[in-house]
Amino acid sequence: MATGLLYDERFLAHDAGHHHPERKERLLSAHAFLANQPWWSTLTPVAPRVADPRWIETTHAGAYLVRAADSCRNGLPYLDVADVGISSDSYDVALLAAGAGLALADRLIGGEIDNGFALLRPPGHHAEHNQALGFCVFNNIAILARYLQQQHGIGKILILDWDVHHGNGTQHSFEEDPSVLYVSLHQYPYYPGSGAAGETGRGRGAGATLNCPMPAGAGDTEYRQAFSERILPAVNAFAPEFVLISAGFDAHTDDPLADINLSTEFYAWMSVQMIEVADRHAGGRLLSLLEGGYDLDALAHSVGTHVATLAGVGA
């Protein structure tokens, strides 16, 4: 099993502001933990590339790209909303984050890796068509899904989002599209307010959105039940040709920004479920992009568990 790991020190240049939870230490901590594992040398390093704006415009308005670039280069403290802190380098870093999945996809389609994980920032799943939101500038996972379809001819794509916050931007990107099944487990009611169980898609995409809202205090048992009763039956019926994971690790019991109580080991369990889905339906093709996770130790250990499971080496 060849597992690609994408990382670049340029991701550290994005500065969301003093005391902002989305800070460079998230990546530094996770990368250092990975580099100290005995299986580190088995991973295939993958370099990101800056995304061509035409791929970003499969998900975002052209005017939004202009506004994002101008806001960063003119020294504004945030983009659109106060929680999306930016710096002069943030637009360029966001372009790199948006291109990360594309670089992994090319390596996977080319047969150089079997699956992969991108240790990137800023995250993406809250970013809407024409608005930054929730620490996110560009919707990295949505851009990747459209790239797979339009560049590599992939038909049906599963996006599983296990970040503790609902991926409103990803849902809205595909809610009228039956070719992308968006599945989310998230604390509810909670930020950003979307993700009710009744949100199941619209028009031709009706039924292609599956939200599994979780109450505060839920943990491994409740998540496992959601997988067995709702997620796995829906995913197997859909039979995806490619599996994508919006891999936020802020549902961990130690994370300070929410109230879900997943164990580190449960991220391995969820990873195994998605590997099995990918093996059954998608020729093993699976890519995972980092979203949230704000306790440095919990993030590092959870990322390590996830990557080890992808690589088939155990945690």
Name the residues annotated as catalytic.
Answer: 126
Q: Which residue has tokens 């966001």?
A: 94
Q: In what order do the strands lie in the sheet with 115-118?
A: 44-46, 3-6, 115-118, 286-290, 242-247, 157-161, 180-187, 209-214
Which DSSP letter does residue 136 get? B
Q: Which residue has tokens 């919990």?
A: 298
Beta bridge partners of 161: 184, 246
The C-alpha angle with vertex 150 and arms to 160 and 283, in degrees rounded to 5, equals 50
Candidates 167, 169, 192; CA nearest to 248 is 167
Query: For residues 58 and 147, is the Cβ–Cβ distance under 8 A?
Result: yes
- Straight-line distance from the first to the last Cα atom of the chain, in angstroms, rounded to the nearest whole number: 15
Helix, strand, or coil (residue 5): strand
Give the C-alpha separation, 301 to 152, whole Å. Answer: 33
Helix, strand, or coil (residue 20): coil
Q: What is the largest CA-CA distance in the chain?
A: 50
Task: Find all residues with CB under 8 Å of 221, minimum gap 6, and list them.
Answer: none
Query: For residues 161 and 183, is the Cβ–Cβ distance under 8 A?
Result: yes
